A = this chain, B = another copy of it.
Amino acid sequence: MKDGDPCVTCPVREKGFCGLLLGKPFQQSPVIHNSNWQEHQGFGADARIVNSKDVSDFVYVLCDGWAFRFGRMPDNRRQIFRFLLPGDLFTAINVFEEKLHSSFQALTNVRVSRFKRPEVMKRIAIKPEILATARIACVVESKHADELSINLGVRAADERIAYLLLHLTSRIADRSVIREHRYHFPLRHQHIADAVGLTTVHVSRVISIFRKRKIIELRDGLLEVLDPPELARIGAIELSNH
């Protein structure tokens, strides 16, 4: 990837934060890299993108590839909070706050775009939909944080993993036109384990049970959901009112 290449992925999603910020979808007007307020960077798989203690006056968006947000304890235990897909803000909070209190790492090769926050603020003043989008992202993230806490706090291993798969496939499906039950799925068992609070060994066992029960097939970075209703029955988080 060279400077000057158009940013293919993010502006395509016109209604996303990035698309609104840039004003036009890619098809109509290719956006040039590294303007005076927008910078693009590429990272290889597993590269650290942002550290939890970094303070930077940029708003980060993932353009291409997968990444994840996580926290790590001094003894090396890691909790993955959220996986990022193309078009995602690193976190919605990042629009308002210069301190990102968590770390970010590339899962696959990624392209990242970052915008200077003062400039973002100027555009928000001109176009309030950008602010509304950021607020919606805040709400979505806070809702997801609650679901994660429920998943980790009260649920068994198979439910946790099923929930993760449901959550991710639904987010992938949201951004693709075709609706299949086969997904590009670059997570290693280690990522799943760190996202649901289990060991890789146990993740492997649960997945092989799912496989035997013909609920999913997961190999070579490809996830196939064979029995969507059953996966939903195990994993869906439906809050009760009582």
Q: What CA separation (Å) do A135 and B102 show in the bound complex?
A: 18
Q: Are B72 and A242 in contact (CB under 8 A)?
A: yes
In the complex this chain forms, how many copies of it are found?
Answer: 2
| Complex contacts, A142 vs chain B, CB 8 Å | 91, 93, 138, 141-142, 145
| Complex contacts, A9 vs chain B, CB 8 Å | none
The winner among A103, A145, A146, A153 for most chain B CB atoms within 10 A is: A153
- Closest Cβ of chain B to A110, distance in Å, is 20
Q: Are B139 and A73 in contact (CB under 8 A)?
A: no
Q: Which of B71, B146, B237 contacts A81 (CB 8 A)?
A: B146
Chain B CB within 8 A of A74 CB: yes
Against B, the Cβ 8 Å flags (1 = close, 0 = not) of A186-206 are: 000000000011000000000
Q: What CA separation (Å) do A152 and B147 show in the bound complex?
A: 12
Q: Which of B72, B149, B241, B242 contacts A240 (CB 8 A)?
A: B72
Chain B CB within 8 A of A238 CB: yes
| Complex contacts, A197 vs chain B, CB 8 Å | 152-154
Q: Which of B51, B138, B149, B152 contacts A93 (CB 8 A)?
A: B138
The winner among A74, A78, A148, A239 for most chain B CB atoms within 10 A is: A239
- Size category, A interface: 35 or more
- Closest Cβ of chain B to A147, distance in Å, is 8
Chain B CB within 8 A of A52 CB: yes
A-B contact pairs, 13 of them (CB 8 A): A52-B241, A71-B150, A73-B150, A73-B237, A73-B240, A74-B240, A79-B149, A79-B153, A96-B135, A101-B143, A102-B239, A138-B138, A153-B197
Given A96-B139, A145-B149, list of 14 further CB < 8 A pairs?
A51-B241, A72-B240, A73-B237, A74-B240, A77-B155, A79-B153, A79-B154, A93-B142, A102-B239, A141-B142, A145-B146, A148-B149, A152-B153, A152-B197
